[in-house]
Amino acid sequence: MAKKKKETPITGITVSKEEDFSAWYTELINKAELADIRYNIKGFIVYREWATLTIRKMYKKTEDLLEKKGHLPLTMPSLIPESNFLLEAKHVEGFTPEVFWVTEAGSSGKLSERLALRPTSETALYKMYSMWIRSYKDLPFKRYLSCQVWRYEGKMTRPFLRGRE
C-alpha cells in the first residue's frame, strides 16, 4: 500500500507586515485564496472565487448607484483602431508604451490597421460621443462603462492593486 503524502497545514501569516509589507501582502492573498499569480503570463492575475464574487458585488453596488442617478450602461468593443487612438494622442501619450497591439487576425493574416487592446476607455467613448451628442438637446448625457483594460505594465504587478488586465 502506497504511503499517503502528508499535507502541510496552512498556518497563519508568518511574515511581519511592518518588516516586509510586499511579502506579507502576497502571503495574505495566497493563504486567503483570493488570487493566484502563477498564471503563465507575467502580470495576468487569476482572481479566485471569493474575490470574484466580492468584485462583482462592488460593481453591482456601484452600477446600481449610477443608474439610480439616471446614468445608463454602455458596452464598448475591447479593440480600438489606431486611428481612433491617435485622435486622443495627448491623452494616451503615457499609455502608448504599455499598449497591447493586435496586428493579425486568424488565417487572413496582417490587418490593414493596428488595433489597440483597450488601455483606457476614453478613446473608444469619445469617438462615439461625438456622433451621439449633436446639440444641447442631447444633454445631460449620463452614461457609464464597466470594463476591463489592458496595459503592459512595466512595474511590478500585484493582485487588486496593479495588473496587466
| Across 21-35, average pLDDT | 94
Each residue of 129-157: pLDDT tens digit?
999 999 999 999 999 999 999 999 877 88
**DSSP one-letter code for 140:** S
Q: Cα(24)–Cα(8) distance, rounded to whole angstroms?
A: 19
Walk me through the domains of the chain, giving residue ranges and CATH numbers.
21-145 (3.30.930.10)
CB 113 within 8 A of CB 82: yes
Predicted pLDDT at 110: 95
Q: What is the pLDDT of residue 7?
A: 64
Nearest to 116 by CA among 130, 96, 131: 96
The pairing of strands 46-47 and 143-145 is: unpaired
**Average pLDDT in the 34-59 region?**
95
Q: What are the DSSP E strand ranges found in the chain? A: 35-36, 46-47, 72-74, 79-81, 100-105, 109-117, 143-145
Tell me the Ramachandran region of residue 56: left when phi exceeds 0, alpha when psi lies from -120 to 50, beta otherwise.
alpha
Please report which confidence band the pLDDT of residue 96 belongs to, taking 50, 70 and 90 as the band edges: confident
CA 23 to each of CA 35, 58, 64: distance values in angstroms, whole numbers, following the listed order: 14, 26, 36
